[in-house]
């Protein structure tokens, strides 16, 4: 079973540009989450999508946005890039079970991709 695939793995942008990162979840996983990892702030939650709807959002400015497609693939976009946006962006997917939110039977347990390393110059 293929894991979570993130593209591109590495990219370099300049301040003011925008960037789009892509994430393909594990087959059958319908929830996709995004996290930002920086040396200064550590791992921080960006947002979570399920069934093409954002159902959780972290404390990031509106320059950070995302979406999910009907096949569960997800993209995140960062507009007007700043130097501080340089980070490893991690995508994670998880299965969703019926019966309400829980971690039982592996529901909501995150499997992470290798990340997209963004450098802003």
Q: Which residues bind other proteins (CB under 8 A)?
A: 4, 6, 31, 33, 35, 42-45, 48, 50, 55-56, 58, 90, 92, 94, 96, 101-104, 108-115
Distance CA 112, CA 6 (A): 10
- CA 37: distance to chain centroid? 11
The token pair at 118 is 């963004």
Distance CA 26, CA 112 (A): 10
Taking the complex as a whole, the smallest distance from the CB of residue 115 to other proteins amounts, in Å, to 5
Distance CA 14, CA 94 (A): 33
Choice between 6 and 24, CB closer to other proteins: 6
Choice between 71 and 104, CB closer to other proteins: 104
How many residues are there in the chain?
121
Taking the complex as a whole, the smallest distance from the CB of residue 108 to other proteins amounts, in Å, to 4
Taking the complex as a whole, the smallest distance from the CB of residue 110 to other proteins amounts, in Å, to 7
Choice between 13 and 88, CB closer to other proteins: 88
| Residue with the two structure tokens 């909501």 | 108
Choice between 14 and 54, CB closer to other proteins: 54
Taking the complex as a whole, the smallest distance from the CB of residue 35 to other proteins amounts, in Å, to 8
Tell whether the torsion through CA atoms of 59, 71, 5 and 50 is positive or negative: positive
């Amino acid at each position: 079973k293929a894991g979570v695939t993130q593209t591109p793995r590495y990219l370099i942008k300049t301040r003011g540009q925008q960037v789009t990162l892509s994430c393909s979840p594990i087959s059958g996983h319908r929830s996709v989450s995004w996290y930002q990892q920086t040396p200064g702030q550590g791992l921080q939650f960006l947002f979570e999508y399920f069934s093409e709807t954002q159902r959780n959002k972290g404390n990031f400015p509106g320059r950070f946005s995302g979406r999910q497609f009907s096949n569960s693939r997800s993209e995140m976009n960062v507009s007007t890039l700043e130097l501080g946006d340089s980070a490893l962006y991690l995508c994670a997917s998880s299965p969703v079970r019926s019966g309400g939110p829980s971690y039982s039977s592996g529901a909501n347990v995150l499997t992470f991709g290798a990340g997209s390393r963004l450098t802003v110059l």
